[in-house]
């Protein structure tokens, strides 16, 4: 039920049995991959999610779909913190609060946006000499134009110092102080094991995933069967009834040479043919390993793969 809710939340149900594929080659589009990434992280049921420019590389329609997914995630009670690059008015106003930094990493605004960015606009328009926003103008663009270093010099103000002297800053500090004190009777989080599932369950999940990975790659599997059959016919014809000749030392050496040839041909061919498959899955493995998962890579989108994915997430 939880997996169904996640897929409904990020609007992935129409893509239930779709292969993820390779970026720019086949499979899901860039926007669909971003939503899949969000879904994978939601499987761990986190209370806070960090995103780094989720709309980068997307057109207006795709960016709107991704941000709708982000907004749906927030509506479930989770906190989403993300950086945004050149947002449109609709995307910018989808956020509840803004953390604005000037060059050098100093805070110049930390607070709510308000309806139609009213609170942000009211804060900066209250600065003496600051230009007023025009009707229909993007608040995100206006905000960056007002707070440039050139504007600071023209207005003779330091926006970082202005924020530190504001009532908004004092309210934020008071809020931080209140939430930094643990409630009476509370204890620190403690987990007896590093992973939520035992090693046997994780191993079965990885074997299940690897089986599906090869099953959904018919060209690779068919080529291995074909090459093995050709090598069997070739070596069988060359060394026909070689095993029945066991009377001389040379006969034994011939048998050993036949075994060596068969092992080398099949071994080298299988090793070289599996390298492209491993190179693709290695990227996914590195990503999931960095996220605290086991060696479970998900290359197919359905409720069963997401089901097994939950068993290997780190607590």
Residue-range domains of the chain with CATH = 2-179 (3.40.50.300), 199-310 (no CATH)
Query: Which pLDDT score is estimated for 116?
Result: 86
SS3 state at 313: coil
pLDDT tens digits, 71-91: 888 888 888 999 888 888 888
Helix (H) or strand (E) holding 49: strand 48-52
Q: Please determine, for residue 291, whether its predicted confidence score (pLDDT) is greater than 70.
A: no
Quickly count helices (H) and strands (E) in the chain. 13, 4
pLDDT > 70: percent of the chain:
91
Mean pLDDT of 23-27: 75
Spatial contact of 189 and 315, defined as CB atoms under 8 Å apart: no
pLDDT tens digits, 149-182: 888 888 888 898 999 998 999 999 999 998 888 8
Confidence of residue 315 (pLDDT cuts 50, 70, 90): very low
Tokens standing for 292? 């605290």
Query: Which pLDDT score is estimated for 242?
Result: 73
Task: Count Cα atoms within 13 angstroms, Cβ side, for 70.
Answer: 27
Mean pLDDT of 60-66: 84
Confidence of residue 293 (pLDDT cuts 50, 70, 90): low
**Higher pLDDT pick, 228 / 313:** 228
Q: Considering only CA atoms, which of 112, 84, 314, 48 is closest in space to residue 195?
A: 314
pLDDT tens digits, 32-44: 888 888 888 888 8
Distances (CA, A) of 48 to 78, 138, 153, 216: 6, 28, 38, 34
Confidence of residue 276 (pLDDT cuts 50, 70, 90): confident
Cβ contacts of residue 229 below 8 Å, gap of 6+?
none
Spatial contact of 88 and 75, defined as CB atoms under 8 Å apart: no
Tokens standing for 48? 């806070």
Report the residue count for the chain.
Answer: 315
Query: Which pLDDT score is estimated for 173?
Result: 92
Cα angle 62-300-195, degrees, rounded to a multiple of 5: 105
Q: Please determine, for residue 202, whether its predicted confidence score (pLDDT) is greater than 80.
A: yes
Query: Which pLDDT score is estimated for 306?
Result: 39
Confidence of residue 57 (pLDDT cuts 50, 70, 90): confident
């Amino acid at each position: 039920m939880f997996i169904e809710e996640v897929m409904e939340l990020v609007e992935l149900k129409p893509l239930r049995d779709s292969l993820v594929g390779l970026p720019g080659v086949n499979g899901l589009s860039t926007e669909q991959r971003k939503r899949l990434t969000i879904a994978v992280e939601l499987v761990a049921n986190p209370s806070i999610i960090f995103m780094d420019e989720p709309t980068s590389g997307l057109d207006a329609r795709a960016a709107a779909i991704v941000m709708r997914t982000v907004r749906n995630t927030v509506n479930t009670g989770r906190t989403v913190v993300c950086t945004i690059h050149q947002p449109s008015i609709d995307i910018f106003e989808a956020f509840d609060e803004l953390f604005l930094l000037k060059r050098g990493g100093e805070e110049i605004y930390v607070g709510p946006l308000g309806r139609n960015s009213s609170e942000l606009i009211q804060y900066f328009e209250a600065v003496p000499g600051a230009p007023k926003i025009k009707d229909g103008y993007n608040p995100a663009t206006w905000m960056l134009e007002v707070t440039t270093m050139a504007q600071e010099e023209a207005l003779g103000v330091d926006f970082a110092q202005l924020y530190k002297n504001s009532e908004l800053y004092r309210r934020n500090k008071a809020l931080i102080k209140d939430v930094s004190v643990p409630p009476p009777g509370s204890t620190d989080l403690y987990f007896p094991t590093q992973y939520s599932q035992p090693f046997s369950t994780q191993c079965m999940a990885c074997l299940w995933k690897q089986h599906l990975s090869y099953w959904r790659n018919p060209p690779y599997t068919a080529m291995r069967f074909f090459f093995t059959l050709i090598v069997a016919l070739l070596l069988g014809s060359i060394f026909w009834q070689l095993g029945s000749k066991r009377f001389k030392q040379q006969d034994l050496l011939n048998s050993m040479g036949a075994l060596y040839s068969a092992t080398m041909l099949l071994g080298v061919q299988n090793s070289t043919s599996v390298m492209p498959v491993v190179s693709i899955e290695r990227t996914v493995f590195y990503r999931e390993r960095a996220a605290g998962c086991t060696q479970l890579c998900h290359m197919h989108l359905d409720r069963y793969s997401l089901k097994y994915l939950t068993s290997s997430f780190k607590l």
